[in-house]
A and B are shown apart, each in its own frame.
Chain A
Amino acid sequence: MVLIKRIFAALITCCASLSLFAGWGDVNMTPGVNALSREIFDLHMTIFWICVVIGALVLGFMVYLIVAFRKKEGDKPAQFDDHPVLEMTWTVLFAVILAVMAIPATFTMIRAYDDAEGDINILITGHQWKWQYEYLEDEVSFFSNLSTDLDQRNNIAPKSDNYLLEVDEPLVIPTNKRIRFLITANDVIHSWWVPDFAVKQDAIPGFINTAWTQVDEEGIFRGQCTELCGQYHGYMPVVVKAVSPQDYELWVNEKKEAKIQQALLTEKLWSTEELYEIGEGVYQTNCVACHQVNGEGLPPVFPALAGSDLVLNDKAKQIEILMEGVQGAAMQSYAEQLSEVDIAAVITYTRKAWGNDASGDGEIVIPKEILDYKNNKL
């Protein structure tokens, strides 16, 4: 019964949004928030209406044919089978209509392809299944992960308004500045899309693609990865927060300060419990996708951590895997993505959780060890 009600509600909403134009945004492309996106929207609407007119004429003519020439008693169907002048006429007509479409499209294309330097240049790197943002001038760098929790995805908790379109740390950009995006990927091909900016650019390993935007109004703009990139392709949203240039400066300074604080933490004396607690959070965000909540993984592609000999007894090798990744497998290097504290904590967590504590050597890893590993490499 609930299901039937739900289906009716869906039908009614769909009809309403189509007939009353109540939710035009739910059925059409967004005009977006900058000059380029509005221009592309206008182009889309022009082409759309041309197509609607052509479609209506063709389908209307079909209806006429169906009605007017249905078989009647004693019919004598005509026997003509060509008309060169008419055929030539409509061929030329098609060409003219196409030219009318191609001209504005060409100009829009040229404007979209402007790749001059920006006031702010941001390197965007796609990873399975998160985005990394590096501000080239300000030397700020961080990862942006989906923040919708598993309970919502598994229909246990009610879904929030921005279900699957929310992240732990959005990309922050200032308004009224030219922002240039340099887009690449670390593993497979991803695609970075923010509909409001009309920016969709594939993130391809070994290539750096460019796109740009300039936003006039403050706000939060949401998009998603649009190139199939593995099992969690549907779970790597893009969130961009546009703030005033003053707020942007404040934010950059905060990020820099946090980085210094983070470095100091490696000197601190850590207890097992503290590391375990941090590690659990890090694991939930970064590791569960492959190794699963229960540490069982999804063999053979994603190995189990629970009861793994390596996790139980080989601390040094485990650190190396976290820092370097595994060649030819989905495991990537986390040296850049996570702080020393986070890496130490998550290793500690995997060595203590799921009964690994009892069956292995039970040693923990402290942030200093990660720092030493980094320094030794230098």
Chain B
Amino acid sequence: MSAVIDSHSDDHHHGPAKGITRWLYTTNHKDIGTLYLWFSFLMLFLGGAMAMVIRAELFEPGSQIVSPEFYNQMLTNHGLIMVFGAVMPAFVGLANWIIPMQIGAPDMALPRMNNLSFWILPVAFGILISTFFMEGGGPNFGWTFYAPLSTAYAPPTVTFFIFAVHIMGASSIMGSINIITTILNMRAPGMTFMKMPLFTWTWLITAYLLIAVMPVLAGAVTMMLMDIHFGTSFFNAAGGGDPVLFQHIFWFFGHPEVYIMILPAFGIVSHIIETFSRKPIFGYTSMVYAIASIAILSFIVWAHHMFTVGMPIAGELFFMYTTMLIAIPTGVKVFNWLSTMFKGSISFETPMLFSIAFVALFTIGGLSGLMLAIAPADFQYHDTYFVVAHFHYVLVPGAIFGIIAGVYYWLPKWTGNMYDEVLGKTHFWMSFISVNITFFPMHFVGLAGMPRRIPDYALQFADFNMVISIGAFIFGLTQLLFLFIILKSIFAGKQATSEVWEGAKGLEWTVASPAPYHTFETPPEVK
């Protein structure tokens, strides 16, 4: 601790540095949060552009605009960029901005590592995207990169992909260590665990999940690297290896990973529903236990992604039962949100609209998840558009709506200006309608038998695919409006008060808007 006090003897840097060095060298949690958020926004548009290519190709049956090979590169990188580039960094950005202010800490516990964990991310994605300009093209084996398609049969650029994944993993692990350290050590006096805001709680648990599973992913890609370059046969059946082993390792990472992408959204939505219902969150304690149970269960359900690999029946049944169990804590959360609204005094500003849509559409995604958990029925659902519909319902109107809601909720705190409410509501309604036009019909084509990850399809799927594509184009365009709204609120808008929202509770609403560069240099007292 003494080192920190010493550096304050030459007391001259209270504001940010000028120019580009402010962003390159910054150790300020707010600056780093901003960097993360802008980076994820850029990635959202890049991954979104790839989705537009996919939907243009699928607009009508027959070859449209890209080759099957390039189509595979698009769907792979759409997945990778959205998961690792858009959703995860957005949550880390929100964590950086909000967690220190929610717990009354002056900054993150490890500010220099914070800088490093952000700045290696653009490097990782630079490497990933550079593969498009190399011989053989970018990764084309799906974001799940099943061996041996991603090893013996992969384009030569797979080595760059592996390196990029390693760097992303390192970034996530450092980010998580930082968040855990901050939450455990830097809470304001009087803030016990069971008084911690829910966003902080969800992130604490998410960070533990990340630390547990990111090394597993690193292990998987390292084994791939060994198979490709050093003559091992981890996943090569001809050399005595096991291609299914890859899937077990991948999904042992992958299932907790999908909860990593939703738990912080639970936290955000809890705050927003509480604020705009003007009523304390219902069942705080059960919320915390529900998040913890979801996290623990996430480690024992992974093989429900693999019901068709030919597991023994005991395995099928075990993973079916554990997966169904997840519905219990998830259901508890949904009911808690509804009970928070019950007998409240609800107003419908943009963050609340997105949060209500989150609860409604996440419920649909949860219910289709329950259907997918039923192993024998999954023989028909597996790897069809029904699955695509399911996970987009939990990720787009789930995770992404959660992030958007959070951005609207805290934006006045960041910029000091209110965003344009009319434009915000327009953004919401266009997103809400088009997201359903895009993803709801996917349930139908999936049940009717359309496999996922195909660049062309049989004629009976043509009508729905056209509708899906139109919905996707509208949804994609609508997000440009979001960019405009954010830019507008940075430069203009009604001055926001400290509290911003009537009924907002928590330490972050006690500081001025925009939040000063340094907050809570003396810790507040929590009663």
Residues in chain A within 8 A of chain B (CB atoms) = 6-7, 9-11, 13-14, 17-18, 25-30, 40, 43-44, 47-48, 51, 54-55, 58-59, 61-62, 65-66, 69-72, 75-83, 86-87, 90-91, 94-95, 98, 101-102, 105-106, 108-110, 112-113, 128, 152-155, 159, 161-165, 187-189, 191, 193, 195, 198-202, 204-207, 209-210, 223-235, 298-301, 328, 330
Contacts and interface: CB of A to CB of B under 8 A. Distances in A.
Q: Which 9 pairs across A and B sit closest by C-beta, in order of nearness?
A: A206-B237, A234-B454, A209-B310, A75-B345, A78-B343, A27-B444, A77-B345, A226-B383, A81-B280
Given A65-B346, A90-B335, A230-B72, 10 more contacts: A18-B444, A47-B370, A47-B374, A77-B344, A105-B374, A154-B63, A187-B148, A189-B148, A206-B241, A224-B449
Majority secondary structure, A binding face: mixed
Nearest to A105: B374
B371 A189 contact: no
A202 B310 contact: yes
Interface stretch (B8-16, B176-184, B463-471): B463-471
A152 B457 CA distance: 12
Contacts of A232: 68
B382 to A, nearest CB: 6
Considering residues B142, B148, B241, which has the most beta carbons from chain A within 10 angstroms of its beta carbon? B148
A200 B146 contact: no
B346 A66 contact: yes
A62 B376 contact: no
Contact of B63 (A14, A80, A95, A153): A153
B277 A207 contact: no
Given A87-B283, A153-B62, A227 B146 contact: yes
Given A65-B341, A79-B279, A87-B332, A200 B308 contact: yes
Interface stretch (B47-55, B198-206, B314-322): B314-322
Nearest to B337: A62
A54 B232 CA distance: 50
Interface stretch (B111-119, B159-167, B323-331, B415-423): B323-331
B193 interface: no
A234 B456 contact: yes
13 contacts: A14-B464, A28-B444, A55-B364, A59-B360, A62-B338, A76-B345, A82-B286, A106-B320, A155-B62, A189-B149, A202-B308, A205-B243, A224-B449
Contacts of A109: 313, 316-317, 320, 375-376
Contact of B313 (A13, A110, A207): A110
B194 interface: no
Interface stretch (B87-95, B133-141, B484-492): B133-141
Contacts of B451: 193, 224-226, 234
B368 to A, nearest CB: 7
Contacts of B376: 40, 43, 105, 108-109, 112
A112 to B, nearest CB: 5
A58 B363 contact: yes
Contact of B68 (A87, A152, A226, A234): A234
B367 A54 contact: yes
A343 B141 CA distance: 31
B339 interface: yes
Interface of B: 60-63, 67-69, 72, 135-136, 140-142, 146, 148-149, 152-153, 155-156, 237-238, 241-244, 277-286, 308-310, 313, 316-317, 320-321, 324-325, 327-328, 331-332, 334-336, 338-339, 341-348, 356, 359-360, 363-364, 367-368, 370-371, 374-377, 379-380, 382-384, 441, 444, 447-449, 451-460, 462-464, 466-467, 470
A142 to B, nearest CB: 23
A44 B379 CA distance: 11
A59 to B, nearest CB: 6
Contacts of A83: 282-283, 339
Contacts of A209: 309-310
A51 B371 contact: yes
Contact of A328 (B63, B152, B343, B463): B152
B345 A71 contact: yes
Nearest to B285: A82
B310 A98 contact: no
Nearest to A45: B377
B18 to A, nearest CB: 45
Contacts of A69: 277, 341-346
B343 A95 contact: no
Contacts of B316: 109, 113
Contacts of A165: 458
B308 A191 contact: yes
Considering residues B68, B241, B467, which has the most beta carbons from chain A within 10 angstroms of its beta carbon? B68
Contacts of B324: 98, 101-102
Contact of B338 (A44, A65, A105): A65
Contacts of A91: 328, 331-332
A232 B69 CA distance: 8
Contacts of A187: 148, 153
A189 B146 contact: yes
A9 B462 CA distance: 11
Contacts of A189: 146, 148-149, 243
A205 B148 contact: yes
B321 to A, nearest CB: 6
A51 B467 contact: no
Contacts of A202: 308-310
Given A191-B308, A234-B455, A226 B338 contact: no
Contacts of A207: 237, 243-244, 310
A162 B458 CA distance: 7
Considering residues B244, B368, B448, which has the most beta carbons from chain A within 10 angstroms of its beta carbon? B448
Contacts of A70: 345-348
A161 B458 CA distance: 8
A234 B344 contact: no
Contacts of B457: 164, 234
A301 B454 CA distance: 21
Contact of A72 (B339, B345, B368): B345
A81 B380 contact: no
A14 B467 contact: yes
Contacts of B72: 228, 230-231, 233
Contacts of B284: 81-82
A345 to B, nearest CB: 27
A210 B441 CA distance: 33
A162 B459 CA distance: 8
Given A55-B367, A62-B356, A161-B459, A205 B238 contact: yes
Considering residues A76, A153, A204, which has the most beta carbons from chain B within 10 angstroms of its beta carbon? A204
B448 A26 contact: yes
A334 B32 CA distance: 57
A186 to B, nearest CB: 10
A188 B377 contact: no
Contacts of B280: 79, 81
B377 A43 contact: yes
Contact of B359 (A28, A62, A102, A206): A62
Given A69-B277, A193-B451, A95 B334 contact: no
Nearest to A81: B280
Contacts of B60: 6
Given A7-B466, A59-B360, A109-B317, A48 B285 contact: no
A200 B63 contact: no
B69 A231 contact: yes
Given A69-B346, A91-B332, A204 B377 contact: no
A24 to B, nearest CB: 10
Nearest to B154: A301
Given A65-B342, A231-B68, A90 B448 contact: no
A226 to B, nearest CB: 4
A232 B377 CA distance: 27
Contact of A301 (B155, B341, B348, B458): B155
A111 to B, nearest CB: 8
A87 B286 contact: yes
A81 B466 CA distance: 47
A98 to B, nearest CB: 5
